[in-house]
Amino acid sequence: MKINITALDKVQAELDNVQKGCSARTVMAVDIANILSKISVPKSRLSGTKVYWDGAEKFANAYKYKPGNSTHWEAENINGRWYVTDIYRNPCPNRSTFKGEIRYSDSAKEWIIENASLIKG
C-alpha cells in the first residue's frame, strides 16, 4: 500500500475496510494527517523518514484486563510527501506513554542536530 496522505478519502476508505465493525481504538484519516503535520523538520530533509503509530489509548493501572485491538498505521516520507504504507488492527501494546515512533532519515537527524544547537533569541 502507498496512499498519499493528501488523498484523505482513499486513506479513509482503507481505514474503513480495516476497522469494519470496530468501535473502539479506531483512527480517522484526518487524525493521521494531523499527526504527520506536527513533524517540524523541513520537507526537504524528511525523505526516508518513517512513522509508526499504535493507535491505542493509555489505560489506568487499575484497569484489570488487557485492552483488545487498536488500529496501527505506518507512513513514510518520500521526496517531501507523506504516504500511508500500512494500516492494520493489532493487539494494544502494554500501556505506558508510547503512542508512536518516528524513525528519522539521516538528513532529518542532521537538520535536528544543527538546529538544536542554535541559540534563538
What pLDDT, in 10s, does the model give residues 29-68?
999 999 999 999 999 999 999 999 987 666 666 666 667 7
pLDDT (0 to 100) of residue 9: 97
Q: Under the phi-then-psi rule, with left for phi > 0, alpha for psi from -120 to 50, and beta for the rest, what region is 118?
A: beta
pLDDT (0 to 100) of residue 92: 79
Domain segments of the chain as ranges: 3-116
Full-model pTM: 0.86
The C-alpha atoms of residue 102 and residue 61 are separated, in whole angstroms, by 26
pLDDT (0 to 100) of residue 120: 60
